[in-house]
């Protein structure tokens, strides 16, 4: 029998029928307002690097959303080198604002990082982001060389369906410390989380129940839920 799974990063349109819980990341004002509600869903407030139109208005709205008592994290935010994301300067403006919000409200960060690991780590250091607040790098796909840097910064690393079946990623998955590992469905649908747990367990030469139990514990510790 498959274990109940905790999804550390799920873009949900409705409440799934089965699962231990879900963290729904922030995207923008409209998406955040329409996120499904449930006693097993915890919400973040954020502005995604792909949704930076009307930046100042979005940041003002985000500042207000971050004050809500049910918000458990800030993000997803970060830097993305792909063309779909906004201009670099605008991404950095949004990222700095969200780092500051996380520090003000003592909340962890949910990070979206695509080919910009060094730049993201540098900005976190420049703003003296506290290691004890921590956060997660969602959909982490390497490179392996940055694992220790993210761990040292207080961040957990989350594996999504995008990694399933990737032998080039399986070779370093065991380098992520067990207490810094998370799993997620991202925007693939919550039913894909079981595939992630099965793949992670095989790559780490352990059993699914251990991965499920440990990643749920890690998520609850990070988001203080």
- pLDDT 10s digits, 100-132: 999 999 999 999 999 999 999 999 999 999 999
Q: In the predicted model, is pLDDT for residue 186 greater than 90?
A: yes
Pairing of strands 71-80, 6-7: unpaired
Question: Which pLDDT value is given to residue 3?
Answer: 77
**Lowest mean pLDDT across 66-70, 82-86, 154-158:** 82-86
Q: In the predicted model, is pLDDT for residue 1 greater than 60?
A: no
Mean predicted confidence (pLDDT) in 195-203: 98
Cβ-based burial of 132 (10 A; exposed 0-12, middle 13-18, buried ≥19): exposed
- d(C-alpha 8, C-alpha 24), whole Å: 8
- pLDDT 10s digits, 22-36: 999 999 999 998 999
Question: Which pLDDT value is given to residue 2?
Answer: 67
Strands ordered across the beta sheet of 41-45: 6-7, 21-24, 41-45, 71-80, 109-114, 135-137, 155-159, 181-183
Domains and CATH numbers, the chain: 6-223 (3.20.20.140)
Encoded tokens for 3: 């274990």
**In the chain, what percentage of residues exceed pLDDT 70?**
99
Q: In the predicted model, is pLDDT for residue 205 greater than 90?
A: yes
Confidence of residue 19 (pLDDT cuts 50, 70, 90): very high
Q: In the predicted model, is pLDDT for residue 84 greater than 80?
A: no
Residue ranges of the alpha helices (H) in 106-192?
A: 117-126, 147-152, 167-170
Burial 28-67 (b: 16+ CB within 10 A, else e): bbebbeebeeeeebbbbbbbbbbbbeebeebbebbeebbe
Find out whether 155 and 132 touch, Cβ atoms under 8 Å: no
Tell me the whole-structure pTM to 2 decimals.
0.96
Beta bridge pairs of residue 157: 137, 181
């Amino acid at each position: 029998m498959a274990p109940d799974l905790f999804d550390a990063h799920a873009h949900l349109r409705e409440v799934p029928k089965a699962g231990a819980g879900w963290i729904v990341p922030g995207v923008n004002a409209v998406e955040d307002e329409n996120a499904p509600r449930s006693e097993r869903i915890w919400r973040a407030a954020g502005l995604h690097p792909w949704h930076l139109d009307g930046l100042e208005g979005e940041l003002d709205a985000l500042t207000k959303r971050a004050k809500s008592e049910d918000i458990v994290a800030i993000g997803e935010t970060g830097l993305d080198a792909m063309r779909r994301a906004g201009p670099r300067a605008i991404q950095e403006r949004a990222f700095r604002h969200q780092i500051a919000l996380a520090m003000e409200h003592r909340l962890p960060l949910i990070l979206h990082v695509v080919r910009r690991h060094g730049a993201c780590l540098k900005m976190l250091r420049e703003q003296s982001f506290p290691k004890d607040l921590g956060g997660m790098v969602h959909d982490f796909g390497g490179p392996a060389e940055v694992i220790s840097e993210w761990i040292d910064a207080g961040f957990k690393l989350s594996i999504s369906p995008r990694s399933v079946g990737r032998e080039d990623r399986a070779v370093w998955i065991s380098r992520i410390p067990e207490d810094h590992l998370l799993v997620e469905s991202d925007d693939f649908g919550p039913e894909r989380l079981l595939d992630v747990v099965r793949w992670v367990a095989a790559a780490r030469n352990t059993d699914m129940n251990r991965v499920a139990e440990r990643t749920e514990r890690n998520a609850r510790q990070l988001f203080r839920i």
